[in-house]
Structures are given as structure tokens and as C-alpha cells.
Amino acid sequence: MAAKLKNVPTRSVDDSPFRWAVDGSEWLLLTLLIFGFSGDLPPMVNEAHYLVKAKNFWNPDWCPGDLFAASGKAHATFYWVFGWLTKFFSLETTAWIARWIGWALLAAGLQRLCRAVFGRPWFAWTVLVLWAVGIERANLAGEWVFGGTEAKIPAYGLLLFGITAMVRQQWNRCWIFMGASSAFHVLVGGWSVLSAMLVWGLTQRPIWHRPLASMSIPLPRIFQPGLFIGGLVALAGLVPALWLTIHQPQELSVQAAKIYVYVRLPHHLLSSSFPAHWFTRHLGLIAIAAVMTWIYDRRLRFSDGNQSHANGGIRRLSIFTSGTVLIALIGWFVDVAPWFGSDFKASVLRYYWFRMTDVMVPLQLGVATTGVMVSSLRASDEAGGGMISRRRPATLIALILITIAIVLATQTTYRRVALGVPPSASNRLLGYDPHAPVHVQRKVFADWLKVCDFIRYSTDTGEVFLTPRHQQTFKWYAQRAEVVNFKDVPQDAESLIQWEQRFRDVFPQRLGTMRVTIQYSKLREYRRKYGVRYMLVDRRVCGQHLPLVQVYPRDPETNDTYAIYELPPL
């Protein structure tokens, strides 16, 4: 009986009349799980940065005096696609709409990738959990995927579609999707294209369409229509980024790059500034991912079934991941090599060389580990020589994993949301009294909303404010310009240099990291140079009373955390 049943064809999930219901359910639940990982209150860490810029992109009269908001727009595609929502909705509502779109795109891309590798539904859950945990716990340079909305979220979603096409050797689609990823975030897409070209070079033999004796120029297979179409699409992200620096003198661009790398973002860009345990944890993750990939590859290679498509897919994915690790290795070498000067290093390292290894190594681990599990299930289901698929063990394990993931995600989200303070306004992120009790943090945040509401509804829209050093959400809540904000760093060289000059002027090191001078002569100079009339202070830092005219609060009981003072007249 077993011999007769061995040749009975089995029905694939893709042939099932319920395929669309299965796919739709899996996609929806994946999206909800991503929400479980990242459904914090808005604004998230970078949302107050990106959506403020997007709002000014569509309405230049909004905060026109703000150095950051009015500066050059590097991520024009993201601003164009999502910024128009700010004309009709609040920033909070816009954040939720853009989040769900980005999360849905990530879920759809991951679902397609897992289907291309495994040929079965539902195992994307395991990949997603391992991917998210790996990024959070073992990143090298602080990159993240599951969070609020910004340009890289749709870029990573489109990249997953491109990687899926690469795994299936659909190179035209691969280049187009990666070009679309570059349109949203030129570095995410650009580094991915280089890694995909490495895959192509190691797995595809160049096929010449015409003999060498032909008068026409022979073109290898890599030069397909998709490559040129993807390149044209990528211009939507590349041109705005280049436009910010193309007309700047070389010395100005180098100065801006040094500020960007050495002052503002060394924790992302400068490997020599990373703590040693960051390297340890990421190298450990690379080793585990390599071992799991090797195990999965061997199981596929010696499988009795026809698994050549899966075997080739995991190899192409592993080469792509290796390419991202190689890019990070080159970035590390440039940083530590003693014969490179600081100008050269800054000009090169500003391109986030460690970003893609943070994302792809955990994804590789998730796919390989899940593949080992899938192959084990398949081997157990086919035990005894028969090809009748007993799906109960696989289904049971999948349901258990889904349940565990939902419980973990729900608990994580509950702990974050229960605080009642958005991450970008939390004490932990702002670095001020991070261990304060929950009721204290809620009180401080409520006072922050009060003072921002007063500014929003009681001052002219053209006012410019001096704001506390450690806040990140003044424009989000008060919707007024500020002189300088450490988080809001411009992208174009000229504005970036102005940002650095303003920051050192307003927050001189001699006063500590969070204080602003109260010398009348200096305050009058601020009023003259920056057009600033009011100063918002954190009373926990500056004290309850300053020798200036206090505008807010009139009643001391109204707000004991923040106050507004008018600067001395000229």
C-alpha cells in the first residue's frame, strides 16, 4: 500500500480553493503581531522627526522659522506619499495611518518570502518573532524595523518583495522592487542592490544574448529591463538626497559630514564608539545564523523529496545576508584603519554601513531556524516511506507558536502603553530621571502637554522658542518653531552646520548638558540672531524662578514642571 501511495500527488496549498482565505488570514495576523511589537502611543522615537518634516513639506507656512522643518527634504518620496495626510488629519492620526500601511507592507513581504522558501503558510510567524527579537537584542548599530512610521519602514517592506523575487530568481522583479525601496530610503535600497548583485554574480552565469563576433555590443543577463526600470524608480529617492549636497563646496560637505558622524550620530555610524558587548552579541548572532543555515542547507541537500527550489532559495538568501555583513566589515575597516584621515572617514561613514547587517542577520536566523523546524516536521510526517502528509503535528506546533507570540506581544505592548507616555516623551529616552515612578512620569508628561497647548493656542504661529535641551516633541505638540533641537538634525550641509553652531551657542558645554544661559546680554543676542521671543524651561533643571518676565503659568498650581519666560527686550 505504501508503494502505491508513494506516487499519489499531494495537493499544494497554492492549489487549494481556500488559498486566498488562508493567505489573507495569515497576512492579517502577521500585521497584528507587528502591531503587538510596535504599537506604542505616537509619537515614536523618529515620528516627531519625520512627520513634522512631512507636514512642512505640504504646508511650508507651518513652522516656517524652524531650521529643521524648513531645511532640505532628503526623503521626498515618503513626505509626498504620507505628508498630504497632515492636511486633513492630526499628526497622531497621520502616524497611525502611516504605521498600519507600513506594517501591512512588512507583513505581506515577509509572508511572500516565507512562502517562497518553505512552500507552506503560517511559518512566517516563527520568522517574524525571531527576526524581531534578533533585531532588538543583538543589533550592532541600533537599527530597528518594527516601530513607528518613517521612510525606512515602507522601504524595508518593498525590500522583502525584492528579496522574494531574488530567491525565486525573478531578477526583473527584484530590481524593480529594490528600486522602489530606494525611492523611499536610498540607503536601504542602495545597499540591498549591491548585495543582490553579489548574489547574481555568484549564482548566475552571465548569458550573452549575441555571439561575440556580432557587431552589436553583447549584454550580460544582469542588464535586464527591470534593472533600468528599478534605477529610474530609485531616482525618486536619489535625486532629492543628491540635491542637498551637489551645489555645496567640498569643504562645506566634509565639515557637515564630520558633524553628522562624530557629533550627532556616532552611535549609528562610528564603530569605534560602539561598546564591546555590541560586537559580541552581533557576532554571536552571525555565528548562530550561519550554523542554522548550514544545518538547513544540509537537510535540504540530502532530502529525499524535491527540495531544489528551497535549497537554492536559502543559498541565495544567505549570500545576500553575507553581502550585508561584508558591507559592515568594510565600514568597520574604514573606521579603524589608521591611514585614513578624519575627513575621509566622515565622508564615507555617513552612509550607515552597519544598517543592513542589523536587519538581515536576524532575518537569516529566523528563516534558517524555521526551515530546520519545517524540515523536521516534513521528515516526521513522511516517516515510513509514505507521502501522505499528516498535518496535525505541524498544525499543532504552529498554533502553539502563534499563541505564544500573541501572548508575548500583548504583554510587551501592555507594559509600554500602560505607562501612558509616548516613547519620544518618556524619561527613559530623554535621559532625565529614567527611574522615576510611573505616576511622576505621567505628571511630567501631563505638564508638558499643558504648556504646549498654551503655546499652540495662545501665541502667534510665527513665534520661535528656546526649548529644553532634552525634549524631542515640541513642534509635534506646540506646533511652533524652535531655535535648535538635538534630535532634529537637518540633512543638507549648510543647515547642518548652522544646527551645530546654534546648538553650541544655546547649550554651551560650560553650563552642562541641559542648561541655557540667563545672562541678559546673551538672551538679547538670541533674540536678535534667531528672532526668538520666548524661552520654555524645565523647572526641574532651571529652578522654579528665573529673573525674567514669566508668561506661563500664571497660577503656580497650574504647572510646576514647565514655565515660559519672555526674553529681555532689545
Residues in the chain: 570
pLDDT for the residue 412:
64
Closest alpha carbon to 471 in 391, 400, 553, 540: 540
Q: What is the pLDDT of residues 43-95, one digit of tens each?
A: 998 999 999 999 999 999 999 999 999 999 999 999 999 999 999 999 999 99
pLDDT for the residue 14:
53
pLDDT for the residue 543:
82
pLDDT for the residue 4:
39
Neighbour-count burial for 404-425, b at 16+ CB within 10 Å, e otherwise: ebeebbeebbeebeebebbbbb
- Contact by Cβ (8 Å): 369, 314: no
What does the alpha-carbon distance between residue 304 and residue 298 come to, in Å, rounded to a whole number? 12
Quote the cell numbers at residue 255.
565639515
What does the alpha-carbon distance between residue 442 and residue 419 come to, in Å, rounded to a whole number? 7
Quote the cell numbers at residue 52.
513634522
pLDDT for the residue 140:
97
**How far is Cα of residue 353 from the mean position of the Cα atoms in its chain?**
14
DSSP lists the bridge partners of residue 466 as 535
Model pTM score: 0.90
In order along its 570 residues, the chain shows pLDDT tens digits of: 333 333 333 344 455 557 788 889 999 999 988 998 888 899 998 999 999 999 999 999 999 999 999 999 999 999 999 999 999 999 999 999 999 999 999 999 999 999 999 988 888 988 998 899 899 889 999 999 998 999 999 999 999 999 999 999 999 999 999 999 999 999 999 999 999 999 999 988 654 444 444 444 444 566 788 999 999 999 999 999 888 887 788 899 999 999 999 999 999 999 999 999 999 999 999 999 999 999 998 888 776 454 555 678 899 999 999 999 999 999 999 999 999 999 999 999 999 999 999 999 999 999 999 988 877 766 555 554 444 444 456 556 656 766 666 676 666 667 667 778 898 988 878 877 888 888 899 999 999 999 999 999 999 999 999 999 889 999 999 999 999 999 999 999 999 999 999 999 998 876 655 567 778 899 999 999 999 999 999 998 888 888 899 999 988 778 989 999 999 998
pLDDT for the residue 43:
95
